[in-house]
Amino acid sequence: MSSAIVVGAGFGGLAAAIRLRAAGVDVTLLEREDRPGGRAGRIETQGFAFDTGPSVLTMPSLFAELFALHGEDITDHVTFTRLDPAYRAVFHDGSTLRIRGSVDAMAAEIADVISPAEAGRFRRFAAHLHELYVTEYDGFIDGNFDSPLDLVRPAQMAKLVRLGAFRRVAPLVASFLTDWRLQRLFTFQSMYAGMSPYQALGVYAVIAYMDAIAGVYAADGGVHGLSVALADLATRAGVDLRLKTPVERVEVRDGRAAGVVTAGGDLLRADAVVLNPDLPVAYRDLLPADAAPRGLSRLRYSPSCVVVHLGLDRRLDGAAHHNIHFADGYKASFDDILAGRLQRDPSWFLSVPTVSDPGLAPPGGEVGFYLLPAPNLQGDPVDWAVQGPRELDLAIDRIEAAGYGAMRSATVTSMVVTPDDWAAQGMAAGTPFAVSHHFRQTGPFRPRNVAPKVRGVVFTGSSTTPGVGVPMVLISGKLAAERVLEQVR
């Protein structure tokens, strides 16, 4: 039996470990924290449970695949609920739109709020995004690359060109939808990829497909509950999961990984090592200095964010599970953040997971997850020790002004997470959104999931193939497992 060590029990590491175990590999999974999850972690205080990372959950079929590999049905362990609305969107003019839980319901919403003609255009747009997603998934998303030539599949490329994959996202969306509010609803997702919709290629319109058409879900126990469910699955499958076991370095002998050395000084041997920490940080902290590939120091990173966790003793007025508030100067807000400066007129996001799972707060209470895009640590210098407390006050002011009710008197507990904090958690450039998806960092040009100078080292996570977001990270775990099997069989 071949052996592998996986470092980090985030979604990527968990997915890789579960898939490798299904292939018969002897797997040890090491996690430095006292619970699994990585970025999808959990803070518990005063009866409130806060998810520390991803808040939007899409493509639950990717989780289900992992259970099916071991003959299990995910519904025996996790309850998913498709959200309707997926989002409540609020615009600067006071108008609101709900992204509904199906194409038919969304078309009805558009017909009611905007016009029947725009609803028809939306149906054509939804069908177009579905076709783009299907065309793009096989080979571009769900595939390993050894060189740019792996991308050259004439029939697929011709279809992608026809579907507008190499146009910019904003004009692609505008070619279908004429209402400015809908254009914002189906382009803001480009920020997840670290770009403005006025820069991002049309291939990234599929994020809007996953996000707003394929459906947004809630899981009982929050997003971290899925981390626990996957860790339990891994353990049942025979993975040796060791919590509170930080790794000091990868043991390299004769140019090949021979295992890892833990912070406690133990040498654990294996035929391959999968690294789930953020790829640039994994190179910096866990591999020899001469292992880093050329160009690693020149990587460009996505913007970061400020997160404010709020534990409240009352329910928020009119809140949906996910709420997004759009700035008046939509394009200018992208210009600011991508120039590395604080936004003058920001859009902001408020997730209220207790709308779907009241058990995350004490009876009658509420959990709020406020997110504001912010420059990463490569942008203009910001003294986050000073700015962080300001952001808490600004968050409370914005939420109150948006009509959710009194906040200051209702706040039982609060925490602010800034780019400095993301960096302290091991995220390069202080951003949880990882390496951006500019063309030269996309597909075959993205940092490879194999270390070119150390055989037997494989990466998983959002800074490698295929990219950012929970679905992509789960796929990265699959691709990492495939790389390991290539090397140990």
How far is 128 from 186, CA to CA, in rounded Å? 13
- Mean pLDDT, rounded, for 470-475: 96
- Mean pLDDT, rounded, for 440-464: 94
All CATH 3.50.50.60 domain ranges in the chain, comma separated: 3-47+59-80+223-299+450-488
Mean pLDDT over the full length of the chain: 94
- Residue 298's pLDDT band (cuts 50, 70, 90): very high
- Number of other CB atoms surrounding residue 451 within 10 Å: 24
- The correct CATH number of 301-424 out of 3.30.2000, 2.20.25, 3.40.50, 3.30.519 is 3.30.519
Lowest mean pLDDT among 26-30, 52-56, 440-444: 440-444
- Residue 213's pLDDT band (cuts 50, 70, 90): confident
- Mean pLDDT, rounded, for 279-307: 95
Q: Which has more confidence, 144 or 336? A: 336
The type of residue at 470 is V
All CATH 3.30.519 domain ranges in the chain, comma separated: 301-424
Q: What is the pLDDT of residue 152?
A: 54
The type of residue at 265 is G
Q: What is the pLDDT of residue 211?
A: 82
| CATH no. of 3-47+59-80+223-299+450-488 | 3.50.50.60
- Mean pLDDT, rounded, for 465-479: 95
- Residue 279's pLDDT band (cuts 50, 70, 90): very high
Predicted TM-score of the model (pTM)? 0.95
pLDDT digits (tens, 9 = 90+) for 134-187: 988 877 787 887 766 666 577 777 888 899 988 999 999 999 999 999 999 999
**Closest Cα to residue 141, out of 487, 483, 469?**
469
pLDDT digits (tens, 9 = 90+) for 247-259: 999 999 999 999 9
**Closest Cα to residue 459, out of 305, 303, 291, 234?**
291
